[in-house]
Amino acid sequence: MLRIAVFVSGRGSNLKAILVHPELTNLIKVVAVFSDKTECGAFEIAKSFGIETKVVGKGENKIAPVDLLDVLKNYNLDLIVLAGYLKLIPTDVVEYFENRIINIHPALLPSFGGKGMYGMNVHNAVFHSSAKVSGATVHFVNTEYDRGKIIAQKCVDISDVKSAEEIAERVLKIEHQLLPEVIKAFAQDKIKIEGNRVVIKS
Ligand code: GRF
């Protein structure tokens, strides 16, 4: 079983997509859910699945970012999944878990990524660019926002959309397919780094 920690900041629909995916049940175990928010939809989902929740930040009953690595080490993790987590992961954590932290981004990187590009900011930028396709990207995490190597992408036609909200809706549907697919491939040890490229073996 692949031991996973999921980092979230919001409603948690990607977390749920992982937890209910029938092909992941026998492959993974989500051992903890971390958030920078004390309360969020994702925490409610985690609790309903009996999963431990932890808050990262400054203050009482929170894990200070400088202590995060030690806490994570105690979980014996194979993979960390960022599913809508809005904060940068501390450098020591990124280095320790090199190529074992993945993030889902709701656009086709390397476009429409970087600091401040999250949630509706992304879909508004895509809408106003008049792009005809958007999609979702799962990538390895490094110390810059949305800049790690791309593992997998899925596209969606947005040539007929009338609003950024419509883009968000279409992209979210494919996020819920793509993230579990990548986690499954990771659990089956099919994700390989070959030179400068990340490949998923069939
Ligand atoms: C998703 O669009 C994800 O790609 C982005 O933040 C959103 C989180 O949604 N990074 P949810 O909390 O998983 O519903």
Average pLDDT, consecutive stretches of 10 residues, N- to C-terminus, the chain (202 residues): 97 98 97 97 98 96 97 98 95 97 98 94 98 98 92 98 98 98 98 96 94
Q: Are strands 101-105 and 79-82 parallel, antiparallel or unpaired?
A: parallel
What does the pLDDT read at residue 184?
98
Nearest CA to ligand 1 atom 3: 84
Mutate to test the pocket of ligand 1, among 6, 7, 13, 18 (most ligand atoms within 8 A of CB): 13
Residue environment code for 16-50, b if the CB has 16+ CB neighbours within 10 A, otherwise e: bbbbebeebeebbebbbbbbbbeebbbbebbeeee
Q: Letter for the amino acid at 17?
A: A
128 is catalytic: no
What does the pLDDT read at residue 196?
92
**CATH no. for 2-192:** 3.40.50.170
Catalytic residue of the set 105, 123, 139, 176: 105
Q: How far apart are CA 7 and CA 36, in angstroms?
A: 8
Atom of ligand 1 at shortest range from CA of 86: 10
Instruction: State the distance from the centre of ligand 1 to the C-alpha of 142, rounded, in angstroms.
Output: 19
Instruction: State the distance from the centre of ligand 1 to the C-alpha of 172, rounded, in angstroms.
Output: 8
Q: How far apart are CA 175 and CA 122, in angstroms?
A: 14
Atom of ligand 1 at shortest range from CA of 14: 13
What does the pLDDT read at residue 77?
98
Mutate to test the pocket of ligand 1, among 7, 13, 14 (most ligand atoms within 8 A of CB): 14
